[in-house]
Structure 1
């Protein structure tokens, strides 16, 4: 029955339908590349309330990039822009690279110290130091003119919601 309806359509419509369907599927997939999954951390019971407060205090845009949170939705993750995307995760485990000297490579921005390292793909990974919850910000290569551009806006929210201390 469906085949008879399809054969009743003009030939150009029948010929263009499969490529149009494939193009639509391809565009749908491309549109969802920037909203991929980010594994939310599992913060300690002591850090979780600070992370939830931070999530509410985070800006809706950073350097002109609007907030587009990753899936699955979590009060412990946030993101800005779609591609490349800056991702914040709160309540992560203390990263190993802070073991050497946590303040040796830790600029202070708006009252918050950030340790940082390469993300292995040309971008940078920043983690707060000396705070009651570790907050990680991953800034991919090319997301901003300067890799530290998002930190001032995020530092203000961290400073207001995640107290100093270990």
Structure 2
């Protein structure tokens, strides 16, 4: 039996709605597969760092400068993201970023949290805490905010209150984030 004969046996409303329904389903499938945001591999922190990172995850804001939190896949207490365009990603508990070893990479001090920073090669920046018991890295892509350091103000209080400094004192990283 030919395809045309099979199609003609269907009721008219089904014949009329079938092509748009198939087109809509294909479009939805393509859109779902084009999330546009790559997955983020969560770090594998030590037991001590994992404890601080889980506390940080619970303390992070639901929104950063008007952008809702939309965590990456796979879900992990060691990664967080906010739906800026492109998205801002935070990781906690990974290895010490190499750029913290360069004394010229000292970044801003925000709400008593010192950050090292480096350009990411695409016009954005990577920030990392250097004097805390778990490394917190924030990736701020170009165009996500008016000022590349703006999201740090929304994140620093959570970092300060959940990830202690190595010596238990104030974050001297505000003077030297490379120690």
- Which of 59, 62, 69 matches 2:61? 59
- The residue number in structure 1 matching 2:152 is 151
TM-superposed CA distance for 1:6, in Å, is 4.2
Structure 2, gaps ≥5 residues long: 168-179
1:28 aligns with 2:32: yes
Provide the C-alpha distance between the structure 1 equivalents of 2:29 and 2:147, rounded to a whole number of angstroms: 35
Once residues 14 and 131 of structure 1 are traced to their aligned partners in structure 2, the CA distance between those partners, rounded to angstroms, is: 59
TM-score normalized by structure 1? 0.86
Contact 1:68 1:82 survives alignment (8 Å): no
Query: Which residue is equivalent to 2:120?
Result: 119
What RMSD in Å do the two structures reach over aligned CA positions? 2.3
Inter-CA distance 71–82: structure 2 relative to 1 (3 Å threshold) = farther
**CA-to-aligned-CA distance 1:26-63 (integer Å, 9 cap, x gap):** 23234x334x4110001122211111110011000000
Structure with max Cα Rg: 2
State whether residues 66 and 80 of structure 1, in contact with CA within 8 Å, keep that contact through their aligned partners in structure 2. yes
In the alignment, structure 1 segments of 5+ residues that lack a partner are: none
Count of equivalent residues: 162
Q: How does 1:1-166 map to 2 (within 5 A)?
A: 6-7=7-8, 8-10=10-12, 12-30=16-34, 32-34=35-37, 36-81=38-83, 83-101=85-103, 105-165=106-166
TM-score normalized by the length of structure 2 = 0.81
CA offset at residue 165 of structure 1?
A: 1.2
* Residues 148/82 of structure 1: CA separation in 2 closer, same or farther (3 Å cut): closer
